[in-house]
Chains A and B, each alone.
Chain A
Amino acid sequence: MTLRLSGVGYRYAGAQRPSLLDIDLDLPDGAVVGLVGASEAGKTTLCLVASGLAPRTVGGQIRGHITLDGENVDAWPMHRLSERIAIGFENPATQLSQVASTVFEEVAFGPMNLGVSRDDVVERTWAALEALRIEELAERDPFRLSGGQQQLVAMAGLLAMRPAHFVLDEPTAQLDPAGTRLVGDAIARLAADGASILVAEQKTDLLAEVASRIVVLGEGRILFEGPAAEVLADPRLTEAGVAEPAAVRLRRAAEVAGLDPVRIVGAIA
């Protein structure tokens, strides 16, 4: 199953110029596509467009086409699209429904909205909690968890919708290293289980570990893209306002110092 954006452009309501221009992007099964770029490059906008929230909920004007498995989704309502594409945001607290007193009920919120049978809701909820290995949190109050745990609960809530595609907009931006690690592990597990994931992320160290491809955005356009290892080592990355991963920086420093970068990086790893 593939989520495909073809020639997509987008302009927010009232904006003078478009925030996205001529975006072509494929998100096939099992792929983790990292989305990087400087501030205002259009990462969040692309996430909103890819998930269908823009223009359905956000408003604005869209050009081009978005297809799911070849089917044009332009006319789909958001609730139908939400069964196929899930979106997670930067702030875990704003993704909580505010009506659930336990993590189990929070994760079950999406499937309950879909109106599937009660047994199906329960089964999906347990499966999502197990997939992200947070069953032990099931009874906890979602508002009394750490940021990393809340982000995992939010992701489990998306997973329980049984989407084929995930769009994650800076899911670790507010997390400490431990929380970032939890989310990174979860992304890798979801991809290994066949989901496709578009993840906008500033932390290129995380993308180096989980992404198969990287798309670099600048001023609403795709500047360049390719396999993660190549793009993250590309000198144009810093010109695009994106920090290189620590391993790349270390390798460059070793080269400048006349040391063997392979031995240096290998020794640290």
Chain B
Amino acid sequence: MAERVRLTEPSPHARGVPTFIGRPGPSAVHRLNPLTKATLATVTAIAAVVLGGIVGPVLLVTVAVLLPAAVAGVLGRLLRLSLLLALPIAISAFLVNLFFFPGGEQVLLRIGPITATAEGLGFAIQILVRILAISGAVTLFYLTTRPADLVVDLERRGISSRAGFVANASVQTVPAMVDRAIQITAAQRARGLDTEGNLWRRLRGIVPIVGPVILGSLAEVEERTMALEARGFARPGRRTLLWAPPDSATERIARWAMLVALVALVAARVSGAWS
């Protein structure tokens, strides 16, 4: 018979923090402090917008997104995911700027009352590059950082555990909702819902799926809240942390350097020193 472990006494098999908690990532990029990666993603995204043009953002993305992604071994996934993330916005922004760019004179194409101009095309490409830069920077962070690691790191730095929890839980909710949507889709199809065929049929099929997904998620919120309360989440004061991602003086300097460079870039653009 197995040895009984009493509830109120120390475990006779007491061990330390298991080695899988905070296990280092597989690459140098994965092993960077989450705040460093968050800073890199933020600075890259803002800088791509501030730089403008095409060459600047492309060079920036190559150095700050594609190169680290290659080092991390996630380049293929990054390209697929970031395109998936950006395409709906990118396509609409591209078309709007291509056809409705104000003041465009060099006509490339006419479709009825709307006109595509060379100026519009140039601006649309610039917007496209910026959107892809933003989605690439965000995706690189997502692919190389566990959300829980960032939350732990922020908590270690004094950020409220509630703020961290909300941010992390929001990210974690997405796959849970996707799973729920898959289950509900299967259940509705088993009851004859047609989700195949032409666009109209597909659109009609969305309503009986989206409704239960959203309502089901809302219904769970109350129970989730009570479960958190019952586990002491509302207790005032700091939580105990099991581990914290390593940080180094080099990374601290790199973060400050990135921020200073970004501020300098914004100042140069605003002052007109860089046009």
Instruction: Using CB atoms and an 8 Å cutoff, list the residues of chain A in contact with chain B.
Output: 48, 51, 53, 56-58, 77-79, 82-83, 86-87, 89, 91, 93-95, 97-102, 104-105, 108-118, 121-123, 126-127, 130-131, 133, 138-139, 143, 154, 157-159, 161-162, 189-190, 192-195
Within 8 Å CB of A154, what residues of B? 227
Q: Does the CB pair A114–B235 fall under 8 Å?
A: yes
Q: Does the CB pair B226–A161 fall under 8 Å?
A: no
Within 8 Å CB of A101, what residues of B? 146, 148
**B111 on the interface (CB 8 Å rule)?**
no
Bits for B1-43, please: 1 = Cβ < 8 Å to A, else 0: 0101111111101111110110000000000000000000000
Q: Which of A82, A193, A195 contacts B231 (CB 8 A)?
A: A82
Given A111-B240, A122-B16, A193-B4, decide whether A78 and B173 contact each other with a Cβ distance below 8 A: no
How far is it, in angstroms, between the C-alpha of A127 and the C-alpha of B13 when the chains are bound?
Answer: 8
Given A82-B230, A82-B232, A97-B228, decide whether A131 and B5 contact each other with a Cβ distance below 8 A: yes
Chain B count of residues within 8 A CB distance of the other chain: 48
How far is it, in angstroms, between the C-alpha of A193 and the C-alpha of B220 when the chains are bound?
Answer: 32
Q: Which of B14, B21, B173, B233 contacts A126 (CB 8 A)?
A: B14
**B225 on the interface (CB 8 Å rule)?**
yes
Pairs A-B, 7 closest by C-beta atoms = A79-B235, A127-B11, A113-B232, A110-B231, A94-B223, A95-B227, A130-B5
Within 8 Å CB of B232, what residues of A? 79, 82-83, 110, 113-114, 161
Instruction: Using CB atoms and an 8 Å cutoff, list the residues of chain B in contact with chain A.
Output: 2, 4-11, 13-18, 20-21, 146, 148, 151, 165, 168-169, 172-173, 175-176, 220, 223-242
Name 28 interchain pairs, CB-CB below 8 A, sorted by A. A53-B230, A78-B229, A79-B232, A79-B236, A83-B232, A86-B230, A89-B227, A94-B220, A94-B224, A94-B227, A98-B168, A101-B146, A102-B21, A108-B242, A110-B232, A113-B231, A113-B239, A114-B240, A123-B11, A127-B5, A127-B9, A127-B14, A139-B20, A159-B7, A161-B231, A161-B232, A162-B7, A194-B8
Nearest-neighbor residue (CB-CB) of A100 within chain B: B148
Dominant SS among interface residues on chain A = helix
Q: Does the CB pair A98–B14 fall under 8 Å?
A: no
Chain A nearest CB from B9 CB (Å) reads: 8
Q: Does the CB pair A57–B7 fall under 8 Å?
A: no
Q: Does the CB pair B7–A115 fall under 8 Å?
A: no
Q: Does the CB pair A105–B234 fall under 8 Å?
A: no
Q: Which of A89, A116, A126, A133 contacts B15 (CB 8 A)?
A: A126
Seed contacts A99-B172, A130-B11; 11 additional CB < 8 Å A-B pairs: A51-B230, A78-B230, A79-B236, A94-B224, A95-B223, A98-B224, A113-B239, A115-B238, A115-B239, A123-B10, A193-B8
Within 8 Å CB of B9, what residues of A? 127
Q: Which of B8, B148, B235 contacts A162 (CB 8 A)?
A: B8
Q: Does the CB pair A113–B226 fall under 8 Å?
A: no
Nearest-neighbor residue (CB-CB) of A192 within chain B: B4
Given A78-B230, A82-B232, decide whether A91 and B223 contact each other with a Cβ distance below 8 A: yes
Within 8 Å CB of B242, what residues of A? 105, 108, 112, 118, 121-122
How far is it, in angstroms, between the C-alpha of A154 and the C-alpha of B242 when the chains are bound?
Answer: 19
Within 8 Å CB of B231, what residues of A? 82, 97, 109-110, 113, 157-158, 161
How far is it, in angstroms, between the C-alpha of A48 and the C-alpha of B229 when the chains are bound?
Answer: 12
Chain A nearest CB from B10 CB (Å) reads: 6
Q: Does the CB pair A105–B21 fall under 8 Å?
A: yes
Within 8 Å CB of B10, what residues of A? 123, 127
Q: Does the CB pair A98–B169 fall under 8 Å?
A: yes
Q: Does the CB pair A115–B8 fall under 8 Å?
A: no
Q: Does the CB pair B6–A193 fall under 8 Å?
A: yes
How far is it, in angstroms, between the C-alpha of A101 and the C-alpha of B168 when the chains are bound?
Answer: 11
How far is it, in angstroms, between the C-alpha of A101 and the C-alpha of B22 when the chains are bound?
Answer: 10
Within 8 Å CB of A111, what residues of B? 240
Chain A nearest CB from B212 CB (Å) reads: 15
How far is it, in angstroms, between the C-alpha of A54 and the C-alpha of B224 when the chains are bound?
Answer: 15
Nearest-neighbor residue (CB-CB) of A157 within chain B: B231
Q: Does the CB pair B238–A113 fall under 8 Å?
A: no
Within 8 Å CB of B235, what residues of A? 79, 113-115
How far is it, in angstroms, between the C-alpha of A173 and the C-alpha of B173 when the chains are bound?
Answer: 24
Q: Does the CB pair A99–B168 fall under 8 Å?
A: yes
Within 8 Å CB of B165, what residues of A? 99
Nearest-neighbor residue (CB-CB) of A99 within chain B: B168
Within 8 Å CB of A115, what residues of B? 235, 237-240
Q: Does the CB pair A122–B7 fall under 8 Å?
A: no
Chain B nearest CB from A84 CB (Å) reads: 11
Within 8 Å CB of B18, what residues of A? 104, 138-139
